[in-house]
Amino acid sequence: MGRHIHFEQTVSSTQKIAQSLANDGCPDGMIVVADEQTDGRGRMARAWYSPSGTGIWMSMIIRPNIPVNQTPQLTLLTAVAIVQAIEELTPLRPTIKWPNDIMLNGKKIVGILTELQAEADKVHSVIIGTGINVNQTIEHFPEELRNIATSIKIETGTNLERAQLIQMILLKFEGLYSLYLTKGFKPIKLLWEGYAISLNKMIVARTLRGSIEGKAIGINDDGVLLIETADRSIERIYSADIEIK
Ligand code: BTN
């Protein structure tokens, strides 16, 4: 991972650049990093605040030989890699809120957006975008984010060199990804469960098709969240915002 790095000072979105590099047949494992994004994108068509000089705005392009329905596994794998990297370089102990929010003290520090290029059921490339709040102080965040977002600097009181964190994330990702390619999702799922805060709790999952309330009983082998509802049926959640009750 990261043997081919494409760096730009300012881009609209590293996801967009990564998509066009992937279309042009770039090498597997290529990374796009920008100092600033003017049109950073989050999940569910939200904007992602990506100012210059503070965070890591990065997209990774990988080409695993897996069917489309297994790609959520890679999002969970990436979340584990980032948590492990933060743990390695700081005293912080982040947790993961399904599917891919990395949290510290109830606030979000990392978001992951996985996008696909596929033909029929076959993955052509997976583009994993990660937004990591590293050196922002609270004043850096717009008012509406101050109660829900945090950064490594806010939590530790010290700056962390972004290049050092990128390097550590790529190292962790590489190890987990080769474990995944040889042993499958099971060992990754176990690691992910060790960091997950939403499991065995009553939650509300807000999906594009409405809200589902119940107990989060686990994830299945594709990385899909399973909720047991009041009538004891099991709902499979592919994409949602989760609120822990
Ligand atoms: C989320 O909604 O939590 C996902 C946020 C993902 C943000 C990252 S920043 C790098 C990459 N480029 C984007 O435009 N989005 C992702």
**Which ipTM value was assigned to this complex?**
0.99
Tokens found for residue 159? 């700056």
Check if the beta carbon of residue 197 is closer than 8 Å to that of residue 96.
yes
- The response to whether residue 192 sits with its C-beta less than 6 Å from ligand 1 reads no
Ligand 1 centroid to 193 CA: how many Å?
A: 23
Check if the beta carbon of residue 124 is closer than 8 Å to that of residue 186.
no
Greatest CA separation for the chain? 52
Question: 5-195 has which fold?
Answer: BirA Bifunctional Protein; domain 2 (3.30.930)
pLDDT at 45 over 80: yes
For the chain, domain boundaries? 5-195, 202-244
Report d(CA 17, CA 58) in Å as an integer: 10
Angle formed by the axes of helices 186-195 and 72-89, to 10°?
A: 50
- Which atom of ligand 1 lies at the shortest distance from residue 12's CA? 14
Q: What is the pLDDT of residues 105-142, one digit of tens each?
A: 999 999 999 999 988 888 999 999 999 999 999 999 99
Decide yes or no: CATH 3.40.640.10 for domain 202-244. Answer: no
Q: Which is nearest to 240 in space by CA: 210, 196, 195?
A: 210
Domains 5-195 and 202-244 share a fold: no
- The response to whether residue 21 sits with its C-beta less than 6 Å from ligand 1 reads no
